Amino acid sequence: MRFSLLLYIFFHTVFSACISHKPIPKKYYAPTNSLSKKEELRKRNEIVETARKYKGVKYKKAGKTPKGFDCSGFSHYVLTKNDIIVGASSVDQSKQGKLVKIDDLKPGDLIFLGQNKKISHVGIITKNEKNELFMIHASSSRGIIEENIYQSRYWSKKIISGRNILN
């Protein structure tokens, strides 16, 4: 399975510029096997550490590299760097993993935001404690930033759902 995934990533990377974009087959989505609590905590910390390395990188519409990111390009890039394959768009990512109550989100989980239940933004959770729900994400006006959603008049009203994409 691991070899198949690496082979898929290789061919997808080499030929993606030559073919039309097709959704990643379900078997290549985020892992469905359960991690031990120790492995899960380590992976969550790695995801957050990886995301924080890119703080300050500028926003770029449809950006998917450290030269510039949009929201889903950023989450896709960070998760891929941590061997978790997810879809390219925030809507695709919102269908992967397990749905989690907002109060139960953990660092490394994804949070989806938008209006009227229509997802238009994704961020990576970095902290979830009483009155603090921090995400790191690509802000169109400020680039990659980490902020408390609950203290944001803009984002606090746009929370739609959260997903655990680790197991």
Average pLDDT for residues 13-33, to the nearest whole number?
41
Q: Which amino acid is at 13?
A: T
What's the pLDDT score for residue 31? 52
Average pLDDT over residues 8-12: 45
Contacts of residue 22, Cβ cutoff 8 Å, sequence gap at least 6: none
Q: Tell me the pLDDT tens digit for each residue of 48-107.
A: 999 999 999 999 999 999 999 999 999 999 999 999 999 999 999 999 999 999 999 999
Question: In this predicted structure, what is the pLDDT of residue 26?
Answer: 42
pLDDT value of residue 34:
72
Tell whether the torsion through CA atoms of 36, 41, 44 and 45 is positive or negative. Answer: negative
Give the pLDDT score at 35: 79
Q: Kindly tell me if the per-residue pLDDT of 17 is higher than 60.
A: no
Distance in angstroms (rounded) separating the CA atoms of residues 148 and 159: 12
Quote the pLDDT of residue 86. Answer: 95
Spatial distance between the Cα atoms of 20 and 104, rounded to a whole number of angstroms: 37
Res 139: pLDDT: 97
How confident is the model over 105-148, as pLDDT tens digits?
999 999 999 999 999 999 999 999 999 999 999 999 999 999 99
pLDDT given for residue 7 in this prediction: 46
Tell me the average pLDDT of the chain. 86
pLDDT attached to residue 60? 98
CA–CA separation, 102 and 118 (whole Å): 17
pLDDT number for residue 24: 44
Q: Give the per-residue pLDDT at 5.
A: 47
Domains annotated for the chain, with CATH where assigned, are 30-164 (3.90.1720.10)
pTM above 0.95, yes or no: no
Q: In angstroms, rounded to a whole number, what is the distance separating the alpha carbons of residues 119 and 133? A: 18
